[in-house]
């Protein structure tokens, strides 16, 4: 969808706007929004509302043609709930209902004149973003690997957003550009997630990162198995060794800030397929373990977004990518391996592989003297039990510096409509990871499996400020609408934008 923003006023009126369709809001108490009033000189809109043909409930719509006194061919009335409380949810349902109607119209351009500034606890930038991200999600296709493509998109392809009153053009234009960058970043994350695991291998992720570096001027380094051996990443390599696919350790650098400024480091779990290894997973639904690289995908998607925005911040992205396969070379339960920082780990379950690759990536991150490190991983099924598919799990240590980082991330999530919730961490949970034979076991005693997984990582992050996001429930959808969501790109990008 092509979006632009335009101011309408008394000279340049909505009523005189030439467009295939004008979408305006109406409310449940039969009240018209300011824009609907501006089109109601002949009473056609108030008559339509009085008739009861539209309830005004969030997401209700009524398409009118040939409304007297206005130039546009159609007016789309869109319900937005009670007028004094346009909630985030009612605005979003209005947006998706509008886009659904737009897709069926015999016109390819439209104007949306919604009350962007009336959403409770949100501003016009938020509303603009909701429009752009809503359209991007609605038009996202999953037919890349189909020989017969899905039907082409029809209807409205160009949307002009009526600028919020009093806003100078530039503010709106920036907000639109930022929203488009986030949408493009999410699309990359979705595409990588949905790709079949025989295509989206560690090598494919590395090539994608190289292309991003080319397009946006990032520095890039891809470390190969030999270099990882030299770095003594025994934990990461213990997972990679069961597979015939070469592991890749990808380091991307966006140098948007001052050279002396400490970078934010994002670390993504890039298991391009998780069979469980020798601790093999059950067959049903195992295909969804192609999504086990969604942490990595979200790092690459976030880089796409901040590259396009030219964000003035130093950001480093680390992706540890490999497959977790059973084979004659695979790790066995009981194996003890030595991580990059010297910690010995007893692998009690080869299916707890995410933490084994991340711990070495987290040790590697020390060299950047980071301002903060955030790792993103589809780490535990238990996180879905706790939070379902709505909310990502957030884990940090329990001290003032980490409370501040946690608040930043929680706040960014709220702002972006990509929410997270904080879990506790601490010594009592860490004790669940004791091993009789090594420094640490890779799984905890029963209970609090998401927390013990985070605790495992915590052991490798004591040299900097760190947070962990468990996105097992939020990175993709199962069932009829199976597909990657592009989360948590909005949260991460907003978090980084807020740091500028």
Contact positions toward ligand BES, by CB under 6 A?
A: 274, 292, 349, 351-354, 378-382, 443, 449, 472
Question: C-beta of 380: minimal distance to ligand BES in Å?
Answer: 4
Q: Is 355 a catalytic site residue?
A: yes
Which parts of 286-315 interact with Zn ion (CB under 5 A)?
Answer: 292
Strand partners of residue 467: 374, 396
Output 341 or 380, the one with its CB closest to ligand BES.
380
Q: Does 83 bind Mn ion (CB under 5 A)?
A: no
Q: Which two tokens stand for residue 44?
A: 């056609």
Q: Does 323 engage in binding with Mn ion (CB under 5 A)?
A: no
CA distance 114 to 381: 40
CB atoms within 10 A of CB 422: 17
Asked if 189 and 201 count as a contact pair (C-beta separation under 8 A), the reply is no
The one catalytic residue among 253, 290, 304, 355: 355
Nearest-CA neighbor of 421 among 347, 471, 362, 363? 471
User: What count of other Cβ atoms lies within 10 Å of the Cβ of residue 246?
Assistant: 15
**8-state DSSP, 246:** P
Coil/strand/helix, residue 366: helix
Nearer to Mn ion, 59 or 295 (CB): 295
Q: Which of 243, 244, 203, 197 is nearest to 222 (CA)?
A: 203
Q: Name the one range near Zn ion by CB under 5 A: 7-15, 257-265, 346-354, 440-448.
A: 346-354
Q: Rounded to the nearest whole angstrom, what is the least distance from the CB of residue 214 to Zn ion in the complex?
A: 30
Burial 361-399, CB ≥16 within 10 A → b, else e:
bbbbbbebebbbbbbbbbbbebbbebbeeebbbbbbbee
Residue 107 interacts, among Mn ion, Zn ion, ligand BES, none and using kind-specific CB cut-offs from 5 to 8 Å, with none
| 258 in catalytic set | no
Under rule CB under 5 A, residue 245 binds Mn ion: no
| List 141, 225, 241, 281, catalytic entry | 281
When the beta carbons of 272 and 302 are compared against Mn ion, the nearer one is 272
In angstroms, the CA 352 to CA 269 distance is 12
351 binds Mn ion (CB under 5 A): yes
Residue number of the CB atom closest to Zn ion: 274
Nearer to Mn ion, 119 or 319 (CB): 319
- Distance of closest approach, residue 353 Cβ to ligand BES, in angstroms: 5
What are the residues whose beta carbons fall under 8 Å from the beta carbon of 343, sequence distance 6 or more?
359, 439, 440, 459, 460
Cβ at position 458, least distance to ligand BES in Å: 16
- Measured from the CB of residue 191, what is the shortest distance to Zn ion in angstroms? 20
Catalytic (active-site) positions: 281, 355
Q: Which residues bind Zn ion (CB under 5 A)?
A: 271, 274, 292, 354
Q: Which residues bind Mn ion (CB under 5 A)?
A: 274, 351, 353
């Amino acid at each position: 969808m092509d979006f632009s923003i335009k101011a309408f006023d008394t000279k340049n009126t909505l009523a005189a706007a030439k467009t295939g369709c004008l979408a305006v809001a109406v409310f449940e108490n039969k009240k018209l929004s300011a824009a609907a009033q501006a089109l109601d000189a002949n009473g056609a809109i108030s008559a339509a509302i009085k008739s009861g043909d539209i309830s005004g409930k969030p997401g209700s719509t009524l398409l009118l043609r040939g409304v007297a006194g206005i130039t546009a061919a159609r007016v789309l009335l869109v319900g937005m709930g009670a007028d004094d409380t346009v909630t985030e949810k009612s605005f979003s349902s209005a947006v998706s209902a509008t886009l659904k109607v737009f897709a069926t119209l015999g016109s390819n351009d439209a104007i949306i004149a919604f009350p962007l500034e009336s959403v409770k606890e949100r501003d016009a930038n938020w509303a603009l973003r909701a429009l752009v991200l809503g359209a991007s999600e609605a038009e996202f296709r999953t037919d890349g690997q189909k020989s017969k493509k899905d039907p082409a998109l029809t209807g409205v392809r160009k949307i002009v957003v009526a600028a919020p009153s009093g806003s100078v053009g530039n503010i709106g234009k920036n907000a639109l550009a930022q929203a488009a960058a986030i949408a493009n970043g999410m699309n990359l994350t979705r595409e990588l997630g949905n790709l079949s695991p025989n295509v989206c291998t560690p090598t494919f992720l590395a090539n994608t990162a190289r292309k991003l570096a080319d397009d946006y001027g990032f520095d890039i380094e891809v470390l190969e198995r030999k270099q990882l051996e030299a770095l003594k990443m025994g934990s990461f390599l213990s997972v990679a060794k069961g597979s015939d696919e070469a592991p890749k350790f990808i380091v991307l650098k966006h140098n948007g800030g001052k050279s002396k400024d400490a970078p934010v480091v994002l670390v993504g779990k890039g298991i391009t397929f998780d069979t469980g290894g020798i601790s093999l997973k059950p067959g049903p639904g195992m295909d969804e373990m192609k999504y086990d690289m969604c942490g990595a995908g979200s790092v690459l998607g976030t880089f796409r977004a901040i590259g396009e925005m030219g964000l003035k911040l130093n950001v480093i992205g680390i992706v540890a990518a490999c497959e977790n396969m059973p084979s004659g070379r695979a790790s066995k339960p009981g194996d003890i391996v030595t991580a990059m920082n010297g910690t010995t780990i007893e692998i009690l379950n080869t299916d707890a592989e995410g933490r084994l690759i991340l711990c070495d990536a987290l040790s590697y991150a020390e060299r950047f003297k980071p301002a903060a490190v955030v790792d993103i991983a589809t780490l535990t099924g238990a996180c879905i039990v706790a939070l379902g598919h709505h909310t990502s799990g957030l884990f940090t240590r329990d001290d003032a510096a980490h409370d501040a980082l946690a608040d930043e991330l929680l706040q960014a999530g709220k702002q972006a409509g990509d929410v997270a919730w904080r879990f506790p961490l601490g010594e009592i949970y860490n004790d669940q990871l004791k091993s009789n034979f090594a420094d640490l076991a890779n799984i905890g005693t029963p209970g609090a499996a998401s927390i013990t997984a985070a605790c495992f990582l915590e052991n490798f992050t004591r040299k900097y400020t760190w947070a962990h996001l468990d996105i097992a429930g939020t990175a993709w959808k199962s069932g009829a609408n199976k597909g990657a969501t592009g989360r948590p790109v909005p949260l991460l990008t907003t978090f980084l934008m807020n740091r500028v």
